[in-house]
Amino acid sequence: MSRDRIASLSNPWFTASVGITAAIAIVGAIAGFAWLPLQQQGERFRGVWDAICSAVGLVRNAPSGGQIVRGDYPTTRVEIVPQMLEGASAEAIGRGATLALRCTMCHGARGLSQADSPNLAGQYPVAIYKQLVDFRTGARASAVMAPLVANLSEADMRDLAAYYAYLPRPSDQAPNTDVPP
Partner 1 sequence: VWNSRRLVLAHLWFAFAGFGAALLLGEWQMFIRSPLHAWISDPEWYYRSVTAHGTTMAYVFPALVAMGFGYFVTEKSLSRPLIGLSWAWIGFALVVLGTVTAIIPVALGLASVLYTFYPPLIGNPFYYIGVVLVVVGSWVWVALTSVNLYRWKRDNPGAPVPFAMFATVTGSYLWGWTAVGAALELLFQIIPVALGLRDTIDAGLARVFFSWTLHAIVYFWLMPTYIAYYTIVPRAIGGRLFSDSMGRIAFILFLIVAMPIGIHHAFEDPQVGAGFKYLHSVFTAFVALPTLLTVFTICASVEIAGRLRGGKGVLGWLTALPWRNPVMLGSALSFVMLGFGGAGGLINMSYQLDATVHNTQWITGHFHLIFGGAIVIMYFVIAYDIWPHLTGRALDSFGLMRAQLWTWFVGMIVLTFPWHWVGILGMPRRMAFYDYTDPAIAAQAASVTMSVIGGAILVLSGVLFLIVLARGQTAPRTEPGAYRFSVAAHPPRSLPAGLNGFGLWLGLMVGLTIVNYGFPIVHLLATPGTAVPAISVGVR
Dist. CA 30–CA 57, nearest whole Å = 15
Tell me: does residue 144 bind partner 1 (CB under 8 A): no
Longest Cα–Cα distance of the chain, Å, equals 89
Residues 77-116, one symbol each (x = binds partner 1 by CB under 8 A, - = not), give ----xx----------------------------------
Contact 117, 107 (CB under 8 A): yes
**Which member of 39, 46, 48, 58 binds partner 1 (CB under 8 A)?**
58
Of 41 and 67, which has the nearer Cβ to partner 1? Answer: 41
CB of 49 to partner 1, least distance (A): 13
Contacts of 107 (CB under 8 A, 6+ apart): 100, 113, 117, 118, 119, 120
Nearer to partner 1 (CB atom), residue 33 or residue 124? 33
Q: What are phi and psi of 128, to 5 degrees?
A: -60, -50
H or E stretch including 4? helix 3-6
Work out which of 21, 39, 98, 114 binds partner 1, going by CB under 8 A: 21
The site for partner 1 (CB under 8 A) is made up of: 1, 3, 5-7, 13-14, 17-18, 21, 24-25, 28-29, 31-33, 36-37, 52, 54-59, 81-82, 172-173
